[in-house]
Amino acid sequence: MNLAVFTSANARQPGAGTAADTSSFTATLPVFAIGKATARALAEYGIRHCRTPGRGADSEALLALPELQAVAGKGIVIFRAKAGGKYW
C-alpha cells in the first residue's frame, strides 16, 4: 500500500476508526482527503496530516494534486461511503 484516499467525511468511520488502525495511517501512509471537511473528520480519528486540494472538493481537484500525477504501479486504498452517504 502506497497511499490512502478518503472520498467523504462519512468514509472516515470504516476507514479510520473501525477497519484500520489509525496509527498505521499516521505513521506510514500518505493520506489524501477530498476536501477540508473530510480532513477535519479524519483529524477526529488522529489522522492530521491529510493532503487536500487547495481549491475545490471533488475528484478532479484531488487528482490535480502533484502527488497524484504519477500513480501507475502504486497501491491505493480508497475509502468511500456507501450510497446515501453513510457507510454503516
* Ramachandran class of 51: left when φ > 0, alpha when ψ lies in -120 to 50, beta otherwise: beta
What domains can you pick out in the chain, each with its CATH number? 3-79 (3.40.50.10090)
pLDDT tens digits for 6-49? 888 877 665 445 444 555 666 678 999 999 999 998 888 888 88
The arithmetic mean of pLDDT across residues 55-73, rounded, is 93
DSSP 40-87: HHHHTTT----B--SS-SSHHHHHTSGGGS--TT--EEEE-PPTTS--
Length of the chain: 88
| 2: its cell numbers | 502506497
| 82: its cell numbers | 456507501
| The model's pTM | 0.79
